[in-house]
Amino acid sequence: YILKESDVVTYDGSPVVVCDAIVPQKIPIDVIYEDADVLIINKQAGLVVHPAAGNKENTLVNALKYYLKDNLSTYGGDSRAGIVHRLDKETSGLMIIAKNDFAHKEISNQFKERTILKSYLVIVKGTVQHDQGKCDQPIGKGRIFRKRMIVEHSDGKNALSEFTVIERFHEATLLSVRIHTGRTHQIRVHMKYLGYPVLGDLVYGVSSPLIDRQCLHAHKLNFHHPRDNRQLSFEAPMPDDMTRVLNSLTAL
């Protein structure tokens, strides 16, 4: 709601909850690139990005606090220091970390303007027939399970994903998926909608004896440096657990 002249704003007087300071922790992080403004990491699967209720430790922010000390942007407060964008806990791959507020603002603007290229390696259940395709369907919160996202045409936010087949297997396909928007669980929701759920995804996809997390890896990242506007491109190789899945499948 945008305030208008003569509107009255009231505050109920509830006490402000002050969170404890985030404790630095020596947690291994895979640094791909670093300079005075940004840090590029290859996040491991199973690592939560930032603290939340009931989970104040053992997150990426705790690790960043140890590695970078106070050299992190302050947008989002102490619990989200340096965090410009997120990956799900069980998604691995490339992330941009802002080391100061200037970098955070500039990179956030690139995300807002959709000039950052992000592509993922994804293993889905089923043999995808088309070599290329897209899903241009809005995404919103589920009406019953509010933490689960769905394709929602009435009040969902626009979302666009494009995919290219890399290799087909019996009952599975390796895809490269580029997302043009950054909706929560976008690839997982879109691939389920298309009939090819992400392998190992217990929420939107199908469980697999071959892996204990979703087969989703942020593989490529392309953006402009916040300070001098030069183009930066990074790649993170497929992690070992997803490679083992592919090695156990039979190619067509």
Which residues carry out catalysis?
88
Rounded to an integer, what distance in angstroms lies between the CA atom of residue 76 and that of residue 145? 26
Cα pseudo-dihedral 222, 193, 198, 223, rounded to 10: 10
Residue 90 CA: distances (Å) to CA of 43, 49, 140, 185, 200: 10, 10, 21, 11, 10
| Cα–Cα nearest to 195, from 250, 241, 113, 133 | 133
- In degrees, rounded to 5, the angle at the alpha carbon of residue 88 between the alpha carbons of residues 216 and 246 is 15
Neighbours of 147 (CB within 10 A): 9
| Cα–Cα nearest to 214, from 125, 126, 128, 91 | 91
Structure-block tokens of residue 103: 């970098």
Rounded to an integer, what distance in angstroms lies between the CA atom of residue 187 and that of residue 166? 16
Q: What is the DSSP string of 107-130?
A: HHHHHHHT--EEEEEEEEES---S
Residues in a beta bridge with 38? 98
